Structure 1
Amino acid sequence: MSHKPRRPRKTAQRILAIGLAAGVALGASGCGPDITGGDDAATSDRLAAPTEKSPKGEITIWDRSGDLYEVFDDAIEDFNKVYPDITVHHEAVDIDAKLQNTLITGTDVPDGVFLDDAKVAGLADSLWDLSDVLAPYVNDIAPQKVDVNSIGGGIYGVPFDSNPGLLYYNAAALEKAGVDASTIETYDDLLAAARAYKEAVPTAKPIHLEQSAFLGQLQLEMYASQLGTSIADADGALRLDSPEYKEILTFLDTVQTDGLGTRAEYLNATDIAELENGNQVFYPWAIWYSFATQQLLPETLGDWRAMPLPAWKDGGARSGAMGGSSFVIPRGGENSELAWLFYQFLMFDKAGYTAVWGPNDIYPNGLNTSIPSYQPAAQSDAPLFKPVDALGGQDLWAVATTAGAEIPRSVPTPSWWAGSVDYLGNNIQRMLDGDLTPDQVIGNSSDEIQKNLIDRQ
């Protein structure tokens, strides 16, 4: 085995990158294959598993630096117990800055790469179609994760994590104010609870309103995912002008105009201060917010809890996807089939996914900022990580896996998603400033995205 020694644990601010890595959706400039192509993917683009009983060789695997890199690095030792003759060269790389040029030049192409789901469609021309090797597992993978990796009849990523949206809430503050969080089942209920809390605590603006254009748009897509929609359809056509997006934007506009929201960038100084002083008590976000309760909120440590997101209507889905990542295998790598064995082990072998999500040197209680997308690994009665002390000992595994099972199916993220932040993300902020209505956000953003991004592809 040949891989880099594990680095010391990061500070709380470095741990912040874990959540952002889970949710980042930085776009790629490549257009990717025609996503209307149906099921006629060329068989030459399909990766086949190695047939040797004891495969041998070397692979280069790229991951981002940070705690996830260390988790995967530690798992190499377990992988080599199964495949002792495969040497893994594990490299910490700025993937966003380096991967696309590497694929274009074809020089020193890695065998496997950790990649944001939102980038898969834009780079799929350079990636192996993994339909054949994933065939034994695909029916047991969260459907939303299969969908975001499916383009033109092929599957171009090995799904890694599920990032179910949850409602984090300050249970101690709500109880003191006489607000019963257990009554929150819909977003109307959330508004009612926020109004009741504000009446008891006049300085409060109880619900988090994201002030970053990028993260605000990512959160918008989480809400849209609950309603079974997204910014583009399966053919890449814009579908922002819809009743679903109007409902979500109207909710956000109501939170702002009724004084029920704290506008702050995700976990900046203002955000943290308002969380700690009890003015901001509801945080609708992906599971990866859990690290904040453990690392960044010492004054309210143990006061927070998590529940599934409210539904948009009675009986509706109680969660949506907010970001996510997968593993891709570039066609230019020297030992692509061996890279598949590495990812097959990490995601579908009990020893592998236990090494990733279970207790380890990096996370002594387990990796609790995401859950596996492989459903046999995400059975709520067989938790991989332990209850979270910072959440009052709550069984976050049970909450998250239950919520994750409700995420509706999805479609690939268009390659122009990040560019759309200049329009939709910024227009959401203008709405929260009072300069635009929800209808104007939809109309203006649709026109701008179509003209400046889609029509120019």
Structure 2
Amino acid sequence: MRRYIKILIVLFLISIITFMSACSSNRPASKDKETLEGKIVVLTDRRYEKQLKVAADNFEKFHKNVVIDIDVEDKSTEKISKEYMNNKERPIDVISVEDKSVQNLLYRFPDTFLDVTDDVSYLKDKISTGKFDNLTLKNRVYGLPLSSSPKVMLYRSDILGSLGINLDDIKTWKDYIDLGKKISKDTGKSLMTNIRDENSNLYYILANQLNTSYFDKDGKLNLSSEQWIKALEMVKLLYSEGTVYDLSHKDSIIENIKKDKIISFIADPLYVTDLIQYLPEQKGKWRAMKLPAFEAGGNRDVSVGGLNIMINKSSANLEIAKEFVKFAATDNRTQIEMMNSQGAFPVSTDIYNLVEFNKNNDYYNEKIWFLFSSVEKGSQGIKYVSNFQVLDESIKDALSIENLKSKDIKSIMDQLQKELENKTTIK
């Protein structure tokens, strides 16, 4: 018995050493602790405040003479202007920007953000597919991707188990809809809850699953394509068959889970950590799986959304800003901490090999982050353009659930394609 205990202790120590070694070996090249001195201001949206605070605190521990202030603004990117960035009383040195807003800022303020092409070239092969493309304009790179948003299906394994159902057997959306009919008949509940906020449009997630978005790879409007029609027909079917019911905002999901109203929902990594933090009593009740495919053997990997960090070219503390951005995006220990505490999923693929990353999660009783990494690696990058958000609002209105259920989908998309092509120059 003692021999086995010794073996277990040795294996545990090896794991710890491996993790620590990996963390230190991937620590970005940085100036000596004593040479960096000064202060920078990081502007971020409220939803990313805690994530950036983790990176700032860890950087300050490494660089004792540096102070990083986190400036929080609701819808922070909408406030951006050269005057705002370079306010004499409180200039902005670094800004966090969601994927959908990057190209718009680069187009509107072409000489505002620092060209970091040479600084990040060594990372090109270590970052998730397409993430650098979104930060690139005329073959120059203007920031670093910080986190991504792969999607999985979280589900109540205890509820489904009591009904004799194993959701792991559900491979296609048709299987899922058929199961939804059974759930509705047996319990009166909808199988899937959809959180209808700006980051989780069901139709956009399903379109991405079919490897399309509003624009094709050449930046041309793509709304009347076969993939879009197929995705929207599936959304229509999900609602028409009563498989889905909507919540208006993510803040209400915890309350509904407490009341046992939610059986499954499409989740990004943030929800994984939210359940652990706010619903510890439901440990062991939740599991995760990849999204159902459109057909047997089809794609089940979807990643929509992400956060980036960009540097104000006019910053008076460019050296500190550059070191912080590299640190936040590539330091293994920081990335693991942001993931476990804030659900900020790393885009640095080196992290996917760490022991800490691949260990079993007791709450879900599975290697939850490994599942997300599989989804992230298998997903297709999204083509964003400068006026993505402008078009997004018009498209949302046209693709309301009421319209999808009552009108011919091909007619809706053909009309949208025509109107938006005539109305807007795609940049």
TM-score (norm 2): 0.80
Aligned pair in 2 of structure 1 residues 84, 263: CA closer, same or farther (>3 Å)? closer
Amino acid at match of 2:127: I
How far apart are the structure 2 equivalents of 1:263 and 1:196? 19
Aligned pair in 2 of structure 1 residues 452, 301: CA closer, same or farther (>3 Å)? farther
**Secondary structure, counterpart of 1:254 in structure 2:** helix
How far apart are the structure 2 equivalents of 1:119 and 1:330? 16
Q: Which among 320, 334, 339 is matched to residue 302 of structure 2?
A: 320
How far apart are the structure 1 equivalents of 2:159 and 2:416? 38
Give the structure with higher Rg (CA). 2
Aligned pair in 2 of structure 1 residues 103, 332: CA closer, same or farther (>3 Å)? farther
**Secondary structure, counterpart of 1:454 in structure 2:** coil
Q: In the alignment, does 2:396 pair up with 1:425? A: yes
Aligned pair in 2 of structure 1 residues 194, 55: CA closer, same or farther (>3 Å)? same
**Secondary structure, counterpart of 1:136 in structure 2:** helix
Amino acid at match of 2:163: A
Report the alpha carbon displacement of residue 453 of structure 1 after superposing the two structures with TM: 3.8
How far apart are the structure 2 equivalents of 1:174 and 1:261? 16
Amino acid at match of 1:400: F
Matches within 5 A, 1:357-436: 357=339, 366-367=340-341, 369-379=343-353, 381-383=355-357, 387=361, 389=363, 391=364, 393-411=365-383, 413-431=384-402, 434-436=405-407
Q: In the alignment, does 2:70 pair up with 1:99? A: no
Amino acid at match of 1:344: K
Aligned pair in 2 of structure 1 residues 55, 384: CA closer, same or farther (>3 Å)? farther
Matches within 5 A, 1:299-338: 302-338=284-320
How far apart are the structure 1 equivalents of 2:372 and 2:262? 22
Q: Which among 103, 111, 116 is matched to residue 121 of structure 1?
A: 103
- Is the Cα contact below 8 Å between 2:51 and 2:342 reproduced in 1? no
1:11 alignment partner in structure 2? none
How far apart are the structure 1 equivalents of 2:61 and 2:163? 54
How far apart are the structure 2 equivalents of 1:404 and 1:221? 16
Aligned pair in 2 of structure 1 residues 381, 174: CA closer, same or farther (>3 Å)? same
Amino acid at match of 1:261: V
How far apart are the structure 1 equivalents of 2:257 and 2:70? 38
Larger helix proportion of the pair: 2
Aligned pair in 2 of structure 1 residues 103, 210: CA closer, same or farther (>3 Å)? same
How far apart are the structure 2 equivalents of 1:120 and 1:205? 37
Q: 1:120-166, CA deviations, whole angstroms, 9 ceiling, x for partnerless residues?
A: 11112122232211111111101132232223212222111121011
Amino acid at match of 1:236: G
Matches within 5 A, 1:122-137: 122-124=104-106, 125=110, 126-137=112-123
Q: In the alignment, does 2:232 pair up with 1:249? A: yes
Q: Which among 195, 207, 218 is matched to residue 192 of structure 2?
A: 207
Q: In the alignment, does 2:137 pair up with 1:141? A: no
- Is the Cα contact below 8 Å between 1:168 and 1:282 reproduced in 2? yes
Q: In the alignment, does 2:53 pair up with 1:73? A: yes
Matches within 5 A, 1:153-168: 153-168=139-154
Q: 1:200-249, CA deviations, whole angstroms, 9 ceiling, x for partnerless residues?
A: 32x1221234545x4554x4333222222211134432112111111111
Structure 1 runs not aligned, ≥5 long: 1-48, 358-365
- Is the Cα contact below 8 Å between 1:144 and 1:407 reproduced in 2? no
2:425 alignment partner in structure 1? 454
How far apart are the structure 1 equivalents of 2:296 and 2:133? 26
Report the alpha carbon displacement of residue 102 of structure 1 after superposing the two structures with TM: 3.5
2:40 alignment partner in structure 1? 60
**Secondary structure, counterpart of 1:419 in structure 2:** helix
How far apart are the structure 1 equivalents of 2:168 and 2:30? 52
How far apart are the structure 1 equivalents of 2:192 and 2:411? 23
Identity of aligned residues (%): 18
- Is the Cα contact below 8 Å between 1:293 and 1:304 reproduced in 2? no
Report the alpha carbon displacement of residue 182 of structure 1 after superposing the two structures with TM: 1.1
How far apart are the structure 1 equivalents of 2:393 and 2:144? 30
Q: How many residues align?
A: 393
How far apart are the structure 1 equivalents of 2:152 and 2:258? 19
Extract structure 1 runs of 4+ deviating beyond 6 A: 49-54
Amino acid at match of 1:145: K
Amino acid at match of 1:164: P
Structure 2 runs not aligned, ≥5 long: 1-28
- Is the Cα contact below 8 Å between 2:147 and 2:346 reproduced in 1? yes
Amino acid at match of 2:79: K
Q: In the alignment, does 2:248 pair up with 1:265? A: yes
Aligned pair in 2 of structure 1 residues 423, 92: CA closer, same or farther (>3 Å)? closer
TM-score (norm 1): 0.75
2:205 alignment partner in structure 1? 222
How far apart are the structure 2 equivalents of 1:452 and 1:164? 32
**Secondary structure, counterpart of 1:195 in structure 2:** helix
How far apart are the structure 1 equivalents of 2:354 and 2:65? 35
**Secondary structure, counterpart of 1:322 in structure 2:** strand
Aligned pair in 2 of structure 1 residues 367, 441: CA closer, same or farther (>3 Å)? farther
Amino acid at match of 2:376: G
Report the alpha carbon displacement of residue 277 of structure 1 after superposing the two structures with TM: 5.2
RMSD, matched Cα: 3.2
